[in-house]
Chains A and B, each alone.
Chain A
């Protein structure tokens, strides 16, 4: 319902200047999408979102896009198609691949400044992320996307602060990603499974935040005045995760 209204609003956005005064929240979302056009590898889909075409109009505009010689072909990399639950689970699978790869690297050679307890807990987290990754892979079966190639060149694995900073980024982002994606799931069992995973990610986030700054497990940079954690759209999440992923991720089927 809200989703549809958003689209209706966007139709008019294209048609009328005065739409700018409408619904500040929608404006923000549109702005985010504007920005994503510049950064996302997926120009074509972003264009569709930006244009905000109605459900009925998508085919028409898509047909128009086919004639666009500047259109980037989306044949390489991994495609997340949000048309159904498998798309959402593959999105989670991609994020879990990223997290697992990070913790495997940390656990295999922790920064020398890690205490024995920290080493042990990072081992634990490593196995949690591996379990999440493998669970999603099995649940997806033949629908699972391939393995992602990661890029951790921005992380200094010998430096405790660098490792904790990256871990915090991954965990807070993971929580926001699952929180934002829950609504897209239509199969109760998968929604529940995602819920079972996200609270474990939140526990990781709290633990790592406390390691960086004691007592910051739910600080107000991540929890708002209503006591709510963040919830991000896949577009927001993939933009943030992009710097750690070499494999091109194509996103289709995202209607909101």
Chain B
């Protein structure tokens, strides 16, 4: 028999705020976290637009040895995980006495890799690299560091699947708990924001250059969009077996009840309406729901014409005539890439808890594909019982999650 999987803690460190309360306010207010970074322009980016993510002050929180091996994204992940564990009522003693796993989505650690390469170029001597960059530079930097800091002894690996990484991490955590293989797993996604992380993405002309009005630049589903804005931070969620959560008296925030995935089988950077639909349909079927049961869809839509168009086509096919409200929170956050699939579930749970749907800001003029969608241009106060969160990544990897309000 499949076990019920719930979420008992959430944490966030993003350009919308550095804790759940700040982010709730930003989401409700429709506040953009995008700014202009001169350093990017000086470095040679076409676009200096980026999510303005604060750097955590870790000196009083973590000892030097841990900090030495902590990459930028792992530092973000630590702050989000700390908040999630605290919210779940899981303290250090619990973590030492019980088996907890970790699955994090992360698909690069360019900052640390480039730093190592620069030392080698200059010194031609590996001895000058020091001890920390190996633990910062691997894709598994987040889960290896979270494992060490929180004394985790369960499942432990990273999911690298481009912009669907964070979503797949929750999906896989859900499956492991559902099957009875784990009781508690820290899931999430992390994304670096340093200048080395996204230069090759900028090379594809994928980023908006609307630099005269940064907060208006990310405009998913809008006719006049001109690209996405890179962003980052980290989101963390404590996934837990329902009975286990009840037994230890935890507050249940939401239920993970559907995970769907697919691959497009086509071009490396080509989105697909068919692939998107397969993932969404699977997630809804897995949740034993129908499209009519979904109240809110957190769209993947990144503010690129092609990606938005294919998702809009898929959403039109699946949700035509249904009541589900739709928004892309990337209109406020920019594209949080490896982290997005996890952060957008956190954003959606916040909306579910506080009975509102956050807006798809900057939606001034719809195009023919987005016109029929139930897109939300301004915050709507409404009850949200079931949400669908979409994540579609480069390399044709798709993930969709259905989350419900606890019964």
Please say whether chains A and B are actual partners in one complex: no
